[in-house]
Amino acid sequence: MENLADLWLTYQTAVAFIGVNALLALSVYATLCCGQLSLANAGFMAIGGYAGALLTLHTQLPFALVLAAAAALPALVAVPLGLPVLRLRGVFLAIATIGWGEVVRLALVNWDYTNGALGLVAIPQRAGPGIIFLCLALALFVFWRLRGGRTGYALEAIREDEPAARTLGIDTTAHKLAMFVLGAALAGLAGGLEAHLTFMVAPSGYGFARVVDMLVQAVVGGVAHFGGPVLGAAFLTLLPEGLREVSHLTGMEPGPLRLLANGLVLLAVILFLPNGLVSLPGRLRAWRDERRAARALVD
């Protein structure tokens, strides 16, 4: 029993981070599931993180309200941003959203009220695995209920063939905007939670590397099912632990090693397992059935 308690203490932080990363990966999934590659969520995460930090540091608001604000503010910003930007085709949308993330980061670096590049520190630790997983459970519930309903099928239709979906009466702009806003809210929520987990917020934590991280976790996990991003987040958050041995063996610093591992995993997934880890059991089953059928022919 004591060992279990020790184990928990050691891994509590890792578990909390898995939760935060899962929320971020889900925020990317929100737009990917209707076929939009939006790389804007680091910017929304920054807004949520800073909003949460500022509210905690300067007001007496209860944590639940702080989190609600951290989710709501980016969601509000996402509406006027999304309307023009979601009209753009794939590659252009990706570029515009990359630009957005950098705009937010740049604005924060130049904002003296929040100490510019240094950011805010000494944020009390109000977030722990409990509340993080409560938020995650809520997010997963929303995605679960979306799937298989009228809206869920509309989103899948948009992903498969947007103009055809429109001819069936689906207001694709409204749907895409809704998912864009949902993604922003989730990213903001994750940002607020993380700020109260790591005691600080700084512009450097919300750069392009962050966006790539989120994307990697969503894609590696798999975007055919909402469980995929959670799986991807768990896998890639725990990966650095497993890499410590490799770091000793190769003499490579843990920082670049983690980056390298992320890149290699993403490349392997996109080339060989494009539907992510979540599709692995299905693929293995299909492969096994094929082998069985082939053997049956020979016998």
Indicate whether 89 belongs to the interface with other proteins (CB under 8 A).
Answer: yes
Q: Pick from 88, 200, 243, 273: which binds other proteins (CB under 8 A)?
A: 88
Total site size for other proteins, rule CB under 8 A: 64
Q: In the complex, what is the shortest distance from the CB of residue 159 to other proteins, in angstroms, rounded to a whole number?
A: 8
Q: How many residues does the chain have?
A: 299
CA distance 87 to 189: 26
Residue from 136, 139, 177, 257 that binds other proteins (CB under 8 A)?
Answer: 257
Say if residues 200 and 52 touch (Cβ distance below 8 Å).
no
Among 150, 245, 296, 297, binds other proteins (CB under 8 A): 150
Which of 39, 53, 180 lies closest to 108 in space, CA to CA? 53
Pick one of 99, 133, 200, 238: the residue that binds other proteins (CB under 8 A).
Answer: 99
Q: Is 239 in the site for other proteins (CB under 8 A)?
A: no
- Decide if residue 243 touches other proteins (CB under 8 A): no
Q: Is 165 in the site for other proteins (CB under 8 A)?
A: yes
**Is residue 142 involved in binding other proteins (CB under 8 A)?**
yes
Burial 87-107 (b: 16+ CB within 10 A, else e): eeeeeebbebbbebbbebbee
CB of 94 to other proteins, least distance (A): 6
User: Whole-angstrom Cα distance, residue 262 to residue 73?
Assistant: 31
Q: Least distance in Å: CB of 207 to other proteins?
A: 8
Of the residues 6, 160, 241, 290, which one makes contact with other proteins according to CB under 8 A = 160
Contact (Cβ atoms closer than 8 angstroms) between residue 37 and residue 227: no
- In the complex, what is the shortest distance from the CB of residue 17 to other proteins, in angstroms, rounded to a whole number? 20
Q: Which of 164, 280, 284, 286 binds other proteins (CB under 8 A)?
A: 164
Q: Return the residue matching tokens 């989190």.
A: 67
253 binds other proteins (CB under 8 A): yes
CA distance 82 to 93: 10
Considering only 23, 77, 85, 131, the residue that binds other proteins (CB under 8 A) is 85
Question: 120 pairs with which residues across the strands?
Answer: 201
CA-wise closest residue to 195 among 289, 274, 90, 122: 122
Among 62, 124, 242, 255, binds other proteins (CB under 8 A): 255
The reply to whether 271 sits near other proteins by the rule CB under 8 A is yes
* DSSP assigned state of 86: T
Closest contact distance (angstroms) between CB of 86 and other proteins is 10
Q: How far apart are CA 73 and CA 76, in angstroms?
A: 5
Binding to other proteins, residues 181-220 (CB under 8 A): 207-208, 212, 215-216, 219
Quote the tokens at residue 284: 């293995």
Would you say 210 and 196 are in contact if contact means Cβ atoms under 8 Å apart? no
Distances (CA, A) of 191 to 108, 188, 294: 14, 5, 51
Tokens of 85: 């930007």
Binding-site ranges for other proteins (CB under 8 A):
37, 84-85, 87-92, 94-96, 98-99, 102-103, 106, 109-110, 142, 145-146, 148-151, 153-154, 156-157, 160-172, 207-208, 212, 215-216, 219, 252-253, 255-257, 259-260, 262-264, 266-267, 270-271, 274
